[in-house]
Amino acid sequence: MSRHSFVFSSRSLRSLELEREALERDRLHRRYQSMCVARAESFKPRGRGTLGPEPGFLCEDPLVHNALFTGDNQRVRQLFSNKWPQNLMLLASGHDLEWHSKKPGIWSLCYKQEFITPLQITASRGYDKCLQHLLTSGADVDFAPGGKTALHESCENSQSECTRLLLTYGANPNSISEDGYTPLHLCSAPESLRCAELLLRFGCNVNSRTEDKGDTALHIAARFALESHVQLYLDHGASVNRLNESGQSPLHCVCAQSHSSQDADRYFRVCHYLIEHGASVEALDEEKQSALHLACRTVNYRMVDLLLSKGIDVNRMDYGGNAPMHKALQAVAYKLEHEPERTVRSLLNYGSIRIWPGAIPKVLRFCCQSPRTIEVLVNVYDRLKVTDDWVESVPLKVLQEHQDFYESLFALSQTPRSLQHLARCAIRRHFEGHCQERIPQLPLPTFLKDYLLLQFQGYIS
C-alpha cells in the first residue's frame, strides 16, 4: 500500500522512518563485515617483514586486545609473527564523549571510538619488550590512523625506553599529530625529561610550534615550570623571546600560569632562569600585558620582586586600563595562601600608583579577608577620611575574625595618625618610586628601615 493512498499518522510515519534507518544501517554493517573478511583473506606473506597490500586492517579479536593491553610478551610473540599485518588497527575508547545510537530512536553518550595500533598501545604503557618484538617484526613505526604516532604516545606518557626504541627504529622525531603537536610538545611532565633528551639527540626541532596556539616546547615547559626541560631547551638553542599566537613569550607563560603556593618557588626559579638567559621583561602580549601584570594576577610575590628589580614599568596600563596593582587586588580574595599582601607591598615600594581613597570601601569588600593587604594600602596615606561605608563594607564574620585590626582601622575616624607614621609618609614621599632602592641605604636601625618599607604590624597606628 502506498503512503500516498492511505492517511498515515505522525507516529506511523516516524515508525516507517526508523525502520528505513534500521534497514540501511543493517545493510552497511553487512557490507563492512564482508570487506573485513575480504581484507583478511587478501593478506599473504611476501618475505621477512613484508605485510599485506592494504593498510588499515581492523582487528577485533579480544585475545589480541588482551595481550597488548596487559603487556603479555609471550602471547604477543605467539600472535604477532613475521606474517602479521603491518598496519593493524584496533578500536579503543578515547577521552572525548559523543552521542551514539545502537537502537532506532535510542541515543546514549559514550566515549568516542578511536583507532590505535599495537605500537601505540605498547609504547604508551611502557611495554618495551613487546614493542621491540613488534618493531623487529616489521611494524610501521610512523603509522598513525588516529592522528598520533607511537612516538607521540610514548612521550606523552613519559616512557623513555619506548621512546628510545622507536627513534632507533626510525621514528620521525618531528612528526606532527592531528592536533598539530610534535612529540617534543607532549613532553609536559617532569618524568618526560629523558624523552625530550632523546628527541633532541635524534634531530627534533626545538623551536617547532603547535598549530593551535603557536607554542614552542619552551613555552610549554615554562607554563608547567619544568626546570630541567627549560635548561635543556635553552642549551639546544631554543628561542627565549619567541612569541606564540597570543603574543606571549615563555616568560609570559610562566608568570601567567596559576599554581599552588607549594609550587611558587619552582615557578620563581624558572622565571629567574629565563631572565638570566635574555628573556625580555618589557615584552607585551596582544592585550598589552607585561610579565608583571601576569605575575600579579597569579600573586607570586617572588616573581613580582624579581621583575620589579629588573626595572619593569610598575604602572604600565594594559588594554583594559589595568595597572599591575589592579591585577593584584583583583586576585587577593582567591589567593590568600599566596600572601598577596607581599605583592601589594612590593608594588608600592617600587612606586606603584595608590588606590584612590574613594575606592577604599570597594577594596574593603573584595580584600577584607586579607587585613595585611588593607594595612599596606592604608599606610601609604598620611590622612584618610573614614566613613560609615568603610564599616558597612566588611562582613560581620570577617570583623569578628580580625577584630583587633579592624577596630584600629575604624578608630581613625576619631583619631589622627601618629607622628611616627607622618614621618614615614614624608620620607617615602621624598624618595617617590625609589623606596625599595634608597631606604635600605639609610643609616638607620633595621626595624626603622622595615617600618619605612611598610612592614606588617597587624594594626593601624
For residue 97, what are the β-bridge partners?
111
Predicted pLDDT at 341: 97
Predicted pLDDT at 245: 95
Range of lowest pLDDT (14-23, 27-36, 48-57, 326-335): 48-57
Predicted pLDDT at 11: 66
Flag whether pLDDT at 112 surpasses 50. Answer: yes
What's the chain's average pLDDT?
Answer: 86
Q: Are 116 and 90 in contact (CB under 8 A)?
A: yes
Flag whether pLDDT at 229 surpasses 90. Answer: yes
Distance CA 407, CA 200 (A): 62
* Cell (9 digits) for 66: 588482551
Other C-beta atoms closer than 10 Å to the C-beta of 429 total 11
Predicted pLDDT at 28: 52
- At residue 407, what is the residue type? E
Distance CA 296, CA 293 (A): 5
120-146 pLDDT, tens digit per residue, is: 999 999 999 999 999 998 889 999 888
**DSSP assignment string, 108-176:** EEEEEEEEE-HHHHHHHHT-HHHHHHHHHTT--TT--TTS--HHHHHHHTT-HHHHHHHHHTT--TT--
Predicted pLDDT at 41: 41
Give the pTM.
Answer: 0.82
Q: Are 80 and 95 in contact (CB under 8 A)?
A: no
> Band of the pLDDT at 150, cuts 50, 70, 90?
very high
**DSSP assignment string, 175-231:** ---TTS--GGGG--SGGGHHHHHHHHHTT--TT---TTT---HHHHHHHTT-HHHHH
Distance CA 267, CA 250 (A): 12
Predicted pLDDT at 72: 83
Flag whether pLDDT at 417 surpasses 70. Answer: yes
Q: Residue 15 burial (CB < 10 Å; 0-12/13-18/19+)? A: middle
Question: Which residue has cell 641605604?
Answer: 441
Alpha carbon 225 to chain centroid distance? 10
How large is the average pLDDT for residues 399-418?
92
Question: Which residue has cell 592604608?
Answer: 378
> Band of the pLDDT at 3, cuts 50, 70, 90?
very low
How large is the average pLDDT for residues 86-104?
65
Predicted pLDDT at 19: 73
Flag whether pLDDT at 83 surpasses 90. Answer: no
Range of lowest pLDDT (62-76, 77-91, 316-330): 77-91
Flag whether pLDDT at 186 surpasses 80. Answer: yes
Range of lowest pLDDT (14-18, 38-42, 102-106, 314-318): 38-42
254-282 pLDDT, tens digit per residue, is: 999 999 999 999 999 999 999 999 999 99
Which of 302, 451, 308 shows the shortest CA–CA distance to 379?
Answer: 451
Q: Which helix (H) or strand (E) holds 248?
A: none
Q: Spell out the long-range contacts of 93-98 with Cβ–Cβ below 8 A and sequence spacing 24 or more.
A: 94/146
Predicted pLDDT at 438: 95
> Band of the pLDDT at 73, cuts 50, 70, 90?
confident
Flag whether pLDDT at 71 surpasses 50. Answer: yes
Predicted pLDDT at 93: 62
Distance CA 226, CA 271 (A): 11
Q: Work out the angle at residue 193's Cα, subtended by the Cα atoms of residues 223 and 155, and round it to the nearest 5 degrees.
A: 90
Which of 137, 147, 155 shows the shortest CA–CA distance to 202?
Answer: 155
* Cell (9 digits) for 366: 573584595
Pairing between β-strand 88-103 and β-strand 57-58 as defined by DSSP bridges:
parallel
Pairing between β-strand 88-103 and β-strand 106-116 as defined by DSSP bridges:
antiparallel
